[in-house]
Amino acid sequence: MRSVSIIGVGCTKFGERWDVSLRDMIAEAGLLAIDDAEIAGEQIDALYVGNMSGGRFIEQEHIGALIADCAGLSRLHVPSTRVEAACASGGLALRQAVLAVASGYSDIVIAAGVEKMTDVSSGTAADALAAAADREWECFFGATFPALYAMMARLHMRRYGTTHDQMAGVAVKNHHHAMYNPIAQYHMEITLDDVNRSPVVADPLHVLDCSPISDGAAAVVLAPTEMAAKLADTPVRIAGCAQASDTLALHDRRDLTTLDATVAAGRAAFTQAGIEPRQVDVAEVHDCFTIAEILAIEDLGFVEKGQGGRAAEEGMTALGGELPINTSGGLKACGHPVGATGIKQAYEIALQLRGEAGKRQVDEAEIGLAHNVGGSGGTALVHIFTR
Amino acid sequence: MATGIVSYGVYIPRFRIRLEEIARVWGNGEEISEGLRVYEKSVPDLDEDAVTIAVEAARNAILRGGVDAKRIGAIYAGSESHPYAVKPTGTIVGQAVCSSSSYTAADFEFACKAGTAAVQACLGLVGSDHIDLGLAIGADVSQGAPGDMLEYTAAAGGAAYIIGRQDLAAEIEGFYSFTSDTPDFWRREGMPYPEHGGRFTGEPAYFKHVTSAARGLMQRLGTQPEDYDYAVFHQPNGKFPVRVSRMLGFSKKQIEPGLIVPLIGNTYSASCLIGLAATLDMARPGERIFVTSFGSGAGSDAFSIKVMDRIEKIRCKAPSVRDLIAGAEYLDYAVYAKHKGKLRI
């Protein structure tokens, strides 16, 4: 297997992009990435795109061919594949692209992610997202995603003494980080009080504990590491790439307060990279709800099980802390266009390792991690990046 | 020759429902009312509709101005809840206010801005000397599906403006419109309740159109927000007009007299025309008022208005907006549902 590196990245502004379509956004992100990599279309061997539900959100499937067309690559007959793993679709597209390059089948490969979610009503969007849960055994009985994560939160609170203020602290921190990220959906500082006073969605989760509905696209360009050194000034190596599955339904899990798929993917990625969790300098984790960031940093081994709530409270995971988490603003404040999120995470870590993250730059960041989850934990992807 | 407002009249049904009562039924918390900055909304009586409300408002306008209704050469009634799909509201109003038959009439629909569009049409006919006086009306008994966010604000009310060239209570110095095909809110033929695009009704619809029309007019006239004593913006809820006024550089003090939505809800075609009436109720001669409507679909009409001496003479001859808001009778949700025809038997 060949070592793989990122040689170019691009990301659109995330948010309610009323003025653009899915194809506009994917073209914008793709152009930014190939501009950054300084490559030409003819050099591209393959495309992978993560997209959760073009069919439900914009009544458009066949997103693979669509993005090849938008990129002007259809006449070159470049193979283009759409992959789907709910909110982990972006992370999965990155992994497919990594596998294509590592295997030697392809050299220059684009991994992209895109979602246009605001063309439908919030009810339709919520129902499309609910398709990531077990429709027959969860949704038909009234479960929604906030409700599923609320159950995890309640048990975590009861078992480990985690408080809602600690969860709210994750939202406050991530909104603060987003202030420094020009592509973030929200440039708005919030307080613990704001979170606590926002309407309850599913007790204990309030509106401001939840990631928003967003539009956006992101793309990264991959190449074999040995080629990357010639093609880019500051290539970012993908040292670990792992994927794991778990039961689709939350109630079938071994433990409601642990995402075993995250644990498995994390361990595999760390082993592959030959790195310990404590060596990571910066990480983007899947904070679809505030409790999800707390679970993620525990399940990835950054803190002990049950200690995740204290990490945000004590400033460990803030910019300037021991391990800054979600410097982009995370899903919470940078936005969560579901198919694009996994690629945006890689984009953010690449900027951090290249030293190009501006005011949110983590000093001397050398090792970064991206963690992307599908549904309530049926799929998890972990990528580890090094300079 | 200057054209403008000869007289104005308003009508608001006396029934109200508190938003907390609607929230009680649908299981929503008090934060809905706080979030919308609306506390109660007007409810029509069992036998009131957009026509009866238009008639009451027109009668108040004629009464206030002491106008001979036979001078009215055009009646344009704007509403999104005309009781008939085919058969004009304007003719019923004309008959009721005893105008001659020598007038033209048509009904307007442009979501919440049909009333200001009617004002513009009258300004055209009056300004070109084709007619002596024009009667422009915005009146609605707006609909909100049970439990929908719209139900918290969809209210009832009407405002009528007599537009002419002489004896002006206020001169309309100029207007400017901004219109685009923006599907933020709609109701199809035969459907009892409108649908809306949720948050899409905000930035790309209300804020884009209101700010574009307002800025367009100020640019055309070479005016600034500080040149105006008062400002009135369409009031779908209590938050949007406050935010848009801040975006444009108007102060809270400028919009306060015309901000009536917290007490009566969104009266749709009448909304900013009632806000203007509330401002005319207290404005002094020489003062200037900036008005911008918004109608979904979408468009905004902005007006620059200068209050004239005659306002002092006519102001007290018909009920003020505050008079009409006072003395409300509160309904519970069950009786409100009966008034609004939500119960189908």
**Complex ipTM:** 0.74
The CATH class of B171-311 is alpha beta
Tell me which of A202, A236, A270 is where a domain ends. A236
Rounded to the nearest angstrom, the minimum Cα separation between B262 and chain A is 21
Inter-chain contact B198–A19, Cβ cutoff 8 Å? no
Same fold, B4-169+313-339 and B171-311: yes
Are residues A204 and A180 part of one domain?
yes
Report phi then psi at B306, rounded to 5.
-120, 125
* pLDDT score for A236: 98
Pick from A16, A122, A199: CB nearest B29:
A199
Are residues A28 and A11 part of one domain?
yes
* pLDDT score for B98: 80
CATH number, residue A62: 3.40.47.10
Q: pLDDT-derived band of residue B198, with 50, 70 and 90 as boundaries? A: confident
Query: Counting one residue from A and one from B, how many pairs have CB atoms under 8 Å apart?
Result: 15
Give the separation between CA B97 and CA A340, rounded to whole angstroms: 62
Q: pLDDT-derived band of residue B343, with 50, 70 and 90 as boundaries? A: confident
Cis ω on the peptide bond leading into residue A204 (within 30° of 0)? yes
DSSP category for residue B189: T
* pLDDT score for B31: 78
B21 is known as an active-site residue: no
Residue A9 lies in a domain: yes
* pLDDT score for B279: 98
User: Does the structure show a pLDDT above 90 at B214?
Assistant: yes
Count of helix runs (H) and strand runs (E) in chain A: 14, 11
Per-residue CA distances from B230 to A377, B253, B270, B273, B276 (Å):
56, 8, 18, 14, 9
Pairing, β A236-245 against β A4-11: antiparallel
Those residues whose C-beta lies under 8 Å from the C-beta of residue B265, and which sit 6 or more positions away, are: B38, B40, B41, B42, B152, B153, B154, B155
Length of chain B: 345
DSSP category for residue B298: E
| More confident position, B98 or A29 | A29
* pLDDT score for A44: 97
Inter-chain contact A122–B199, Cβ cutoff 8 Å? yes
Report phi then psi at A113, rounded to 5.
-145, 145
Token digits of residue A67:
């993005």
Chain A contacts of B31, Cβ < 8 Å?
199
Pick from A19, A121, A199: CB nearest B198:
A121
Are residues A182 and A165 part of one domain?
yes
A18 HSE (CA, 13 A, CB side): 14
Rounded to the nearest angstrom, the minimum Cα separation between B184 and chain A is 11
Which residues of A are designated catalytic?
Answer: 87, 336
Cis ω on the peptide bond leading into residue B298 (within 30° of 0)? yes
Token digits of residue A345:
């995470």
User: Does the structure show a pLDDT above 80 at B29?
Assistant: no
Give the separation between CA B43 and CA B28, rounded to whole angstroms: 20
Are residues A375 and A323 part of one domain?
yes
DSSP string, A210-263: B----EEEEEEEEEEHHHHHHH-SS-EEEEEEEEEE--SSGGGSS-TT--HHHH
User: Does the structure show a pLDDT above 90 at B77?
Assistant: yes
Of A156, A157, A164, A208, which is closest to residue A186 (Cα–Cα)?
A208
Give the separation between CA A138 and CA B332, rounded to whole angstroms: 37
User: Which residues, given as ranges, of chain A have pLDDT below 70?
Assistant: none
Residue A130 lies in a domain: no
Q: pLDDT-derived band of residue B344, with 50, 70 and 90 as boundaries? A: confident
Give the separation between CA A163 and CA A167, rounded to whole angstroms: 7
Are residues A165 and A47 part of one domain?
no
Per-residue CA distances from B103 to B66, B94, B126, B128 (Å):
19, 9, 13, 16
Report phi then psi at B26, rounded to 5.
-90, 5
Residue A367 lies in a domain: yes
> Is there a contact between A364 and A377 (Cβ–Cβ < 8 Å)?
no
Residue A299 lies in a domain: yes
> Is there a contact between A25 and A217 (Cβ–Cβ < 8 Å)?
yes
DSSP category for residue A27: H
Report phi then psi at A188, rounded to 5.
-155, 115
Inter-chain contact A122–B31, Cβ cutoff 8 Å? no
CA A284: distance to chain centroid? 7
> Is there a contact between A51 and A256 (Cβ–Cβ < 8 Å)?
no
* pLDDT score for B228: 98
Instruction: Note whether B199 contacts A: Cβ–Cβ < 8 A.
Output: yes
Inter-chain contact A16–B198, Cβ cutoff 8 Å? no
Give the separation between CA B303 and CA B301, rounded to whole angstroms: 7
Rounded to the nearest angstrom, the minimum Cα separation between A121 and chain B is 6
Are residues A193 and A98 part of one domain?
no
Domain boundaries along the sequence of chain B: 4-169+313-339, 171-311
Structure confidence by residue, pLDDT tens digits, B175-196: 999 999 999 999 998 899 999 9
Are residues A225 and A347 part of one domain?
no
Are residues A115 and A29 part of one domain?
yes
Are residues A200 and A285 part of one domain?
yes
Length of chain A: 387
Residue A247 lies in a domain: yes
Domain total in chain A: 2
Instruction: Note whether B26 contacts A: Cβ–Cβ < 8 A.
Output: no
CATH for B4-169+313-339 (3.30.365.10, 3.40.640.10, 3.40.47.10, 3.90.1660.10):
3.40.47.10
- Reduced to 3 states (helix: H, G, I; strand: E, B; else coil), residue A290 is helix
Are residues A151 and A14 part of one domain?
no
A332 HSE (CA, 13 A, CB side): 37
Pick from B198, B203, B204: CB nearest A122:
B198
* pLDDT score for B35: 87
Residue A136 lies in a domain: no
User: Does the structure show a pLDDT above 80 at B104?
Assistant: yes
Domain residues for A56?
4-121+214-236
Q: In the predicted model, what is the mean pLDDT of chain B?
A: 96
Residue A129 lies in a domain: no
B78 HSE (CA, 13 A, CB side): 29
Token digits of residue A246:
């778990």
Give the separation between CA B203 and CA B82, rounded to whole angstroms: 28
B97 HSE (CA, 13 A, CB side): 35
* pLDDT score for B34: 86
Those residues whose C-beta lies under 8 Å from the C-beta of residue B59, and which sit 6 or more positions away, are: B9, B96, B97
Are residues A205 and A57 part of one domain?
no
Best to test chain A binding among B31, B196, B207 (most A CBs inside 10 Å): B31
B138 HSE (CA, 13 A, CB side): 32
User: Does the structure show a pLDDT above 80 at B28?
Assistant: no
Give the separation between CA B233 and CA B290, rounded to whole angstroms: 8
Of A259, A252, A319, which is closest to residue A286 (Cα–Cα)?
A259
Inter-chain contact A121–B203, Cβ cutoff 8 Å? no
Amino acid identity for residue A30 in this structure = G
Pairing, β A379-386 against β A236-245: antiparallel
Q: Locate the chain A residue with the closest alpha carbon to B30.
A: A199
Chain A contacts of B203, Cβ < 8 Å?
16, 18
> Is there a contact between B257 and B80 (Cβ–Cβ < 8 Å)?
no
User: Does the structure show a pLDDT above 80 at B30?
Assistant: no
Are residues A273 and A189 part of one domain?
yes
Q: Which helix or strand (DSSP H or E) is residue B106 part of?
A: strand B104-108
Pick from A18, A121, A122: CB nearest B204:
A18
